[in-house]
Structure 1
Amino acid sequence: MPARSSTIVTALTAAALAAVGVLGYQAAASAPDTLAPARKDGHHSAPKGPAEGSKDKTPRPAAVPEGSGEGKRVVYALGAKRVWLVGGDGKAVRSYRVAPSTVSPPVGTYAVTSRSVSVTGSDGKAIEHVVRFASVDGVVVGFSAAVDGSTPKPDPSKRTGGIRETRDDGKAMWEFAVRGVKVVVVS
């Protein structure tokens, strides 16, 4: 009798594992490729991207400002509150908006002087991917992303030099702007 019951238990276990495998496969096959956030009415919003039928799935970066130099560089436009990561071929590989701090560097060419994976910002927030490139009257200026994802409006009564990016943009800056990479500030 003991041999027979162990055979039954083995068969039932194998059947259960097979059923779980089939259900897992079905769930994976029916899951969407991207998880869009749910709207208030309970439906999922469609991913935003290029128009139907478009062959290029990557959004095109805004045009690199004229007179911003040559070669690999970061371009920071003060008035546009925008950054371009420009490859060695002079073409933007990424462009995005930033939230400037209360202290801005003068127009000119700089170089990345130091980097930190994570620190506390002068506003007390945990920040990551800090890329520093200038100092203005004792205030260090650089790009960073708040760990909580916020890009708060800086307190005008404090002199801070953190140019805030989203976490994704901060990661891209971190990978692109190693020590010594040129940073060009334009108006």
Structure 2
Amino acid sequence: MIAPDPAVEWSRPLPVRSVTGEGRTIELDASAEERAALAARFGLVAIDRLAAKLEVQRVDGDLIRVRGTVEADLVQTCVVSLEPFPATVRDEVEGLFGEGVAPADVPEAWVDPEADDLPEPIVDGVIDLGELAAQHLSLGLDPHPRKPDATLDRALIEDVPEGPFAALKGWKCKP
């Protein structure tokens, strides 16, 4: 048994030697302490439920594919009213990992956005499924969460139909 990484809030290490070509399903549930630590990491009020269901399978020899979903019930802070409100996040998880793969040294400008992702390296013979799920949770979060009924006491710039030159409308040039 491989011990969880204490530096990771939701660590679920999977030894890659246990992954076969037939694959298997792994279900993860975060404890209250793990959810509290992840809520602090992502700037959330709380995470009430966090679970992942992942299919893990060895493909093409040394490559391991992880697919599935991560789901969470959480409490975010509204960017308009600053009030906490409940939200649900569901995000698809997909990752490809390779033994002996070095991190890519390709500049960002050369990466083809339509191409498949390069495999992530497997470190010390382990893939941390909890951290993978936590990263996908963060990708599923709304960066500007807004409570459904939240309103401002004043109009926003985009709510004013006249546009940015409305203040100049009454000005007249003297001949």
Same fold (TM over 0.5): no
TM-score by length of 1: 0.27
User: Looking at CA atoms only, which structure, 1 or 2, has the larger radius of gyration?
Assistant: 1
